Structure 1
Amino acid sequence: MSSHLQEAPAVLPFSGLTQPANAAAWLDRAREVAAVLAIDAVARDRAGVLPTAEVQLLKDSRLTVLLGPAEHGGGAQRWETAFQVIRIVSAADGSIGQLLGYHLFWAWAARLIGTDAQIAAVEQLYTSQNLFFGAAVNPRDNDLVAQDLGAELLFNGRKSFTTGASVSDLLVLEGALKGSEVHVFAIVPTAQEGITFTDDWDNLGQRLSASGGALISGVRADWSSAAGFIDKEYQPLVYNTLNVPLIQQVFSSIYLGIAEGALAAALEYTGTRTRPWPYTSDPKESASEEFHVLEGYGKLRSALWAASALADAVDAELAAVLHAPRAELTASGRGEIAVRVAAAKQVAADTALETTARIFEFTGARATANNVGLDIYWRNVRTHSLHDPVAYKRREVGQYALLGLLPTPSWYT
């Protein structure tokens, strides 16, 4: 039986509030949303129901439009704020942090590869109506084909991973143009015949990320909506290739957020429930006084501060490029930021994996009980950090440090 048929714990409503007016207020709003998600994050993870209510929570809170233009009701915020918001939400629920991060990425994708007219149309559409993005985009799958019908494109095939698609309003489709190596992106309404979700996301972690597959049959899109194309010819810019650095920095935000959530949960557990070890020459009255516990948490807290500081710096560097005029970005400028993003990503992943695994050493055997739920943090980081091999990010940084080589833009660099 599909896990999506199970009854899910309710997510509390979050509506009727004034939209935040500045970056600090948006971060406060994210904390309010995180507090709601944290109430039953473990129970919702165990139930494994489609995150329809959670997406509505994001929409009601307006976090979904924080990057949108002010003239259409958006928050007009910068990516520095968006990265912090993703971290805050991920600390409470990594799956929902992923959904939000991917949505914000795809909402910005029109700016990455679209024409000026397409950017204006997409941003007005999603912001004014507060629509949620999912995507059927997986570059390792070449089995979604776009056929040229003259004024339209016809999409047929499948995608293995479509994070957020089954709970979205708008779906980004990516397919190879039939008979060529050219890839095209188009945005279509999700609720239509021809789009079927396979409901096959049954993985170790990120269980509420709605990342199962999709079957695409006879879905049409106007050629005029093919991102970056004018008269069926793609108009390239170096800026187009920021898609990979941007999504990779979103990944870092997710990992660091999950690690912060894990550390906070472990500290609370140790402070209130972990028992001291009596079989020692220097017994303590509480676990919080034990040397190995203090030393262990000191190491984890320091490492996470360090990883976050690197990510903060790269957030600012990447945001400066993202919010600058698109035509100004050079190939070398793009390469420099890609190396910095690769460094931040591998440090974030390593630190999050260590944090989420080692907390059990300082919480104790009783903390492995399923009703405690500390396992959710490691499962989530372990699952998502396998998206693409972190070793290749280390190699990119090593090639730059040793040989002065910059990453060549690709689907993963």
Structure 2
Amino acid sequence: MTIAHASRTDWTDGPAPSTSGEWIARAGEVAAVLAVDAAERDRAAKTPYAEIGLLKDSGLVTLLGPAGHGGAGQDWPTAYRVVREVAAADGSIGQLLGYHYLWNWAARLVGTREQWERIEADAARHRWFFGGAVNPRDRDIVVRDEGDTLVFDGRKTFSTGSKVSDVTVLEGVLEGTDKHVFAVVPSGSEGLTFHDDWDNIGQRLTESGSVTVSGVRAPWSDALGYVDKEFRPRVYGTLNVPTIQLVFVSFYLGIARGALETGLAYTREHTRPWLHGGHERAVDEPYVIDLYGDLTAKLWAAEALADEVAREGLWFHLNPDEVTPRLRGEHEVRVAAVKAHATDVALEVTSRVFEATGARSTASRYGLDRFWRNVRTHTLHDPVAYKRREVGVYRLRDEIPEPTWYS
């Protein structure tokens, strides 16, 4: 079944999933649909309206939403696994789903209780898909205070989700200050223009191009975490970086698994034994067996570490008022470790799988190269060396990283 034939009735005829395992299985069903024409869609690089429709129809977009408003009420470890499942079939859609979960959760991380309860309820009820124009490294959006209204002006280099989103998380700096402001606005807002300039070698369907923000207005009441125009910080709010990095880990490992499974299937069906090896089947070649054993062991180990760190992180989301700088810092170190390891493993798996599949597997019709292109593109998001540095400094000097936009 292709995306074009995946209708709402495929998932609405029976009861909705109710457990973590059932939702992960639902993600597997979505992945099976995406996998059918993933290589073709990667080459076409068209705006993934149908793919986002699939995520909505399956219910995956409301995974973290409150059950009382139509959401699934699931937790972050489940969300990470769901992202991993989807990314195994299509890395771009896995990233979009992971970012959606992050932007949906941004109100809870940064906002007041009234704000996040309202946003999460509306998002679950209407099955909103979230995009984000957030790139805090550059102060490229200025926010003006006009009484009861905030006005956003500027440009963001990246805006993942852009045209396929229902709402967008905007971020800018309040004029004349160093205060960052986040607000959720309709993606169809006047003055919000998404550009078709995402032309990278990987993650081609993520709609991560630039956006121009010209006079986009939002009420002060929508400025997340602000009360009477003053921001009220919480240590829990600094969990945005560990959470987003675990999302990255999830789709890196998902993409790696997709490459490995695709390679295994190709080797079983198409790879020829080396003419001087003395074997009649490629699956009997010692070097092929060793390679798949090596890559599988490394991937399984990385997945196990990711799952363990995700479970550790759940405590912070369940106990937001008990988060301390020290606990947060130690968790960030663990996240940095799994991010560094997942990056290395994903790059190795997606590259070395060709050693087992052989020269003919490089034909474009198989699309085996997309896995490496996807991982290589996104793992450049922030230098992995600095993740290893966080771990090394903690181990050597017992120093935790200071919360920044990247640590």
SS of the residue 1:212 aligns to:
coil
User: Which aligned pairs between 1:158-177 and structure 2 lie closer than 5 A?
Assistant: 158-177=155-174
Percent identity between matched residues is 56
2:294 alignment partner, one of 288, 299, 312 = 299
Q: TM-score w.r.t. structure 1 length?
A: 0.96
* Aligned match for 1:182, one of 179, 182, 187: 179
Alignment match, 1:379: 373
* 1:32-69 CA-partner distances (Å, limit 9, x unpaired): 00000000000000001001111111011110001000
Contact residue 112 and residue 242 of structure 1 kept, 8 A? yes
| Aligned residue identity for 2:379 | S
**Distance apart, 1:10 and its partner CA:** 5.3
What secondary structure, in the 3-state scheme, does the structure 2 residue paired with 1:209 have?
A: coil
What's the counterpart of residue 245 of structure 1?
242
The question of whether the paired residues in 2 share the 8 Å contact of 1:157 and 1:215 is answered with: yes
Contact 2:109-2:240 at 8 Å conserved across structures: yes
Give the distance between the partners of 2:42 and 2:76, measured in 1 at CA. 28
2:333 is the counterpart of 1:346? no
Q: How many aligned positions are there? A: 402
Structure 1 partner of 2:117: 120
Q: Which secondary structure state, in structure 2, belongs to the residue aligned with residue 147 of structure 1?
A: strand
CA distance in 2, matches of 1:58, 1:147: 36
Partner of 1:367: 361
Q: After TM superposition, list the pairs within 5 Å mapping 1:11-410 onto structure 2.
A: 11-16=4-9, 17=12, 18-280=15-277, 283-324=278-319, 326-410=320-404
What letter corresponds to residue 188 of structure 2 in structure 1?
A: A
- Offset, 1:12: 3.4
Q: Is the 8 A contact 1:143 1:159 kept in 2?
A: yes
Structure 1 unmatched ranges of 5 or more: 1-8
Equivalent residue, structure 2, for 1:3: none
SS in 1 for 2:399: coil
Report if the CA contact (8 A) 2:3-2:54 is conserved. Answer: no
- Counterpart CA distance in 2 for 1:30 and 1:117 is 31
2:392 corresponds to which letter in structure 1?
Answer: G
CA contact (8 A) 1:12 1:36 kept: no
How many Å separate the matches in 2 of 1:11 and 1:107?
27
Gaps of 5+ in 2: none
CA distance in 2, matches of 1:190, 1:198: 13
Provide the rounded CA distance (Å) in 2 between the counterparts of 1:70 and 1:198. 35
Q: AA paired with 1:320? A: W
Counterparts of 1:24 and 1:358, CA distance in 2: 31
Distance (Å, rounded) in 1 between the aligned partners of 2:257 and 2:4? 22
Matches of 2:75 and 2:179 in 1, distance apart? 32
Q: 3-state SS of the aligned residue for 1:371?
A: helix
Do the aligned partners of 1:248 and 1:341 also contact (CA within 8 Å) in 2?
yes
- Specify the code of the residue in structure 2 equivalent to 1:13: A
- SS of 2:279's equivalent in the other structure is coil
2:3–2:33 contact (8 Å) kept in structure 1: no
- CA–CA distance in structure 2, aligned partners of residues 179 and 321 of structure 1: 34
TM-score by length of 2: 0.98
User: 1:180 offset after TM fit, Å?
Assistant: 0.7
Compute the displacement of 1:141 (Å): 2.0
Displacement after TM superposition at 1:14 (Å): 3.8
The offset of 1:394, in angstroms, is 0.5
Cα RMSD (Å): 0.9
Matches of 1:218 and 1:367 in 2, distance apart? 50
- Between the aligned partners of 2:290 and 2:7, the Cα distance in structure 1 is 40
Give CA-to-partner distance per residue, 1:323-345, whole Å, 9 cap, x none.
Answer: 22x21100001001100000011
Contact 1:200–1:212, Cα closer than 8 Å, also in 2 = yes
2:331 and 2:8 map into 1 onto residues whose CA distance is 38
Corresponding letter in the other structure for 2:231: Y
What is the CA–CA distance in structure 1 between the aligned matches of 2:312 and 2:68, rounded to whole Å? 26
- Do 1:199 and 1:212's aligned partners in 2 also have CA atoms closer than 8 Å? yes
Whole-Å Cα distance in 2 between the matches of residues 406 and 11 of structure 1?
49
Q: Residue 182 of structure 2 aligns to a residue in which SS?
A: strand
